[in-house]
Amino acid sequence: MSSNGSATALRRLMKEYQEISQNAPEGIMAGPSDENNFFVWDCLIQGPEGTPFEGGLFPATLTFPKDYPLSPPVMKFTSEMFHPNVYPDGTVCISILHAPGDDPNQYESSSERWSPVQSVEKILISVQSMLSEPNDESGANIEACKVWRDDRKQYNRIVRRLARETLGL
C-alpha cells in the first residue's frame, strides 16, 4: 500500500473522529487509543436497554487497515463476551465488517457488506443493534448460539453476569 493510501485513510479517520466526538450516538464512545496512531481506536458500547446486556459497558478495539475505507476495520471486544456473533476471542462477526463484494457462502448480499460509505459510527450502531438481536444463522460462537436457541434463561443469566463484570461488580 502506498503512503498516499495511508494518508487518505488517516484523513478519513481524523474526520470521523471529529464527527463522533462532536455528535456521538447514545451509548457509544470511540476514539484513537493514542493520538499518534489513528489506526487503532478504543470503543465503549453501552448494553442496549431491554436486553441482558443492559447496564454493561463493553470495551472494544477497532483496528483499521492502511487502505481504509476501501477495506473494513476489525472490531474486537476486550472484555469477556458471550454472543452468537462474537468469536470466543472477542472478534465481532457481522456483515458490515465483511470485505466488500459477493459473499462466497452466498449468505449475505453485497449491499450488507462493507463499503467505503460506511463509517465508525455505523459500525458501532450496528454492533449495538447486534447485541439486541443476535443472528444465530451465521454463528461465530457455536456455544453461545446453542444456549441462545435452546435455553434463553441461561443465556440471559450468562450475559447479565458479564454485563455486571464490565462494571467491576
Q: Smallest Cα–Cα separation from 158: which of 145, 91, 29?
A: 145
Q: Which of 20, 28, 93, 127 is catalytic?
A: 93
- DSSP letter for each residue of the chain: --HHHHHHHHHHHHHHHHHHHHSPPTTEEEEEEETTEEEEEEEEEEPPTTSTTTT-EEEEEEE--TTTTSS--EEEESS----TTB-TTSBB--GGGSPSS--TTS-S-GGGS--TT--HHHHHHHHHHHHHS--GGG-SSHHHHHHHHH-HHHHHHHHHHHHHHHTT-
Report the half-sphere exposure of 146 (CA within 13 A, side-chain side). 3
**Amino acid at site 122:** K
Annotated catalytic residue 43:
no
- Catalytic residues, by residue number, are 93
